[in-house]
Chains A and B, each alone.
Chain A
């Protein structure tokens, strides 16, 4: 029983980390059709910002700095590099892939390739006993952060004018502009929100893994994309469910099958979902034709 509880809560913690990465990716792609391969670099930037400040300043300040770093970098990337390329999607992909490689390389050049230990504050370092299982406290912090972010995103999307613009832009960007709305402001805001969440993911990921490294963000980005594809572009609820599912499947597969197979299982689930969607769409087309 305690093993099940431990695996479940650890899997949900990992899923929460994936959600923090994927929710920004999903919003950015849903609104702007931009596949942001530089998102992992923002995770790394947030992780290193938190690492540099932890021990010198309160951990909350380190987290805030990580969020700010991600947001500012993302806004800069959008305004300077992505915006001029909106009509050139292939060049956009090349730029974000290049940034995704260059920023971690820059981090490696400054602080070295080795992982750096991130010392979480005492309050996060311990464990909490749940039904006999000793669950690391940071898992609860990650889950709580993901729940707060999910609620905040839903409030933003449903209660604010920018949220309304984002939801409309996901459906029909051209029509939003034809209503007199400067959709580029929404683009920058969404990119900054995505970057902020990536920065938060980097900091909390550092706590989860106990260390930060230059390629940590890029490794996590793969699962971020898996979650986005399964959960749906621009669908915050779907992304949250998919993130939890992927985290749980990874943890259980690693424990009950073989260590390392969890990554394979996540990708396998992605393949199954895509195939099922293809069959469902094909079936719908057949039904429409028959009708």
Chain B
């Protein structure tokens, strides 16, 4: 296992946000961290990175890291794309990327600009003036600039248009081929497409671990743990289809078998504010 959490607890402002979280992240592929809003997914990520005070044991690559400071943990080889992107709004795109550089980053720019050619053309633009999708590209690109051993991505599709969600999904898929990933995500279509294993949190505790496809195939369990589900007898299937413009971009969606393929429903989501 590349990352192991054992009895991690976080208390913030008197509230017990994490109450003994324990799980492992596989050394390959994508592990999804799932759960409804407010169950402690982002806090778990911040606890891993030392961004919140926590107790318990965290091993990364077999070494304990829970006593290290955030920058030391990150330098061990963790790339972090936070919720809400956290780009530096007044800095240019190039400067945002330069901040993430560590030794040996030069060669990684080829990959970053191959995945995100727009970032090259917009290098001199202030990151705060980018669209949400472009800011997400900056956030993900920063994780790819180094030879990280794990990428932690927190809600990469939050607030993005469906077309951009598809682009982000494709990039994450390519990134996951190179480096294991811990993905916090509420878009279950994306989770199904990318993740092998899943960890479900509820009320600051792990309530389920196992293959994502098995979890999502169990309608009752999905309903119970994630608060979403499907009508009995309907098979949820993931389709991609060409974008309306006829370009290479594909829209990602969950389509129920009973619907014709051209009537694509919006992606399922465990976000409570989702339509």
Residues of chain A whose beta carbon lies under 8 Å from any beta carbon of chain B: 161, 164-165, 167-168, 171-172, 174-183
Q: Is the CB of A174 within 8 A of B51?
A: yes
- Highest count of chain B CB atoms <10 Å: which of A164, A167, A175, A183: A175
B51 touches A171 (CB 8 A): no
**Using Cβ atoms and an 8 Å threshold, which residues of chain B touch A176?**
99
Residue of A nearest to B96 (CB): A168
Contact, CB under 8 Å: B142 / A177: no
| Residues in chain B near residue A178, CB distance under 8 A | 49, 51, 70-71, 74, 80, 82, 86
Query: What's the least CB distance linking B11 to chain A, in Å?
Result: 15
Give B86's nearest chain A residue, CB to CB. A175
Q: Which of A167, A171, A179 contacts B100 (CB 8 A)?
A: A179
The residues of B that contact A177 with a CB separation of less than 8 Å are 51, 69-71, 74
Q: Which one of B56-64, B87-95, B175-183, B195-203 is at the interface?
A: B87-95
Decide if B98 is an interface residue (CB 8 Å cutoff): yes
Give the complex CA separation of A171 and B99 in angstroms: 13
B102 in contact (CB, < 8 A)? yes
Q: Which residues of A contact B89 (CB under 8 A)?
A: 171
Nearest residue, chain A, Cβ from B127: A171
- A180 to B71, Cβ gap below 8 A? yes
A-B contacts counted at CB < 8 A amount to 56
Contact with A along B46-86 (1 / 0, CB 8 A): 00010100000000000000000111001100001010001
Q: Give the total of B residues in contact with A, Cβ under 8 Å.
A: 21
Which residue of A has the minimal Cβ distance to B146? Answer: A180
Q: Which residues of B lie under 8 Å from residue A171 when comparing CB positions?
A: 88-91
Taking A164-B91, A175-B86 as given, write out 6 further A-B residue pairs in contact, using a Cβ cutoff of 8 Å, ordered by the A residue number.
Answer: A161-B98, A167-B95, A174-B51, A175-B82, A178-B82, A180-B75
Q: Is the CB of A180 within 8 A of B95?
A: no
Determine the distance from Cα of A182 to Cα of B72 in the docked complex, in whole angstroms: 8
Q: How far is the CA of A169 from the CA of B88 in the complex (A)?
A: 9
Q: A182–B174 Cα gap in the complex (Å)? A: 30
Quote the shortest CB–CB distance from B87 to chain A (angstroms).
9
Given A164-B98, A165-B99, A174-B51: A179 touches B74 (CB 8 Å cut-off): yes
* CB-nearest residue of chain B to A185: B71
Set A175, A180, A183: member contacting B88, Cβ < 8 A: A175
Q: Is the CB of B88 within 8 A of A168?
A: yes
Q: Across the interface, do B71 and A183 meet the contact criterion of CB distance under 8 Å?
A: yes
Task: Note all chain B residues with C-beta closer than 8 A to A174.
Answer: 51, 70
Contact of B102 among A167, A172, A175, A180 (CB under 8 A): A180
Residues on A with C-beta less than 8 A from B69 are 177, 182
Question: What is the bound-complex CA distance between A179 and B69, given in angstroms?
Answer: 12
A to B CB contacts below 8 Å, 5 in the list? A175-B88, A178-B80, A179-B100, A180-B74, A180-B102
Tell me the nearest residue of chain B to A174, going by C-beta: B51
Cβ-defined contact, B71 with A167, below 8 A: no
Tell me if A179 and B142 are in contact (CB < 8 A).
yes
Assembled-state Cα–Cα distance A175/B51 (Å):
9
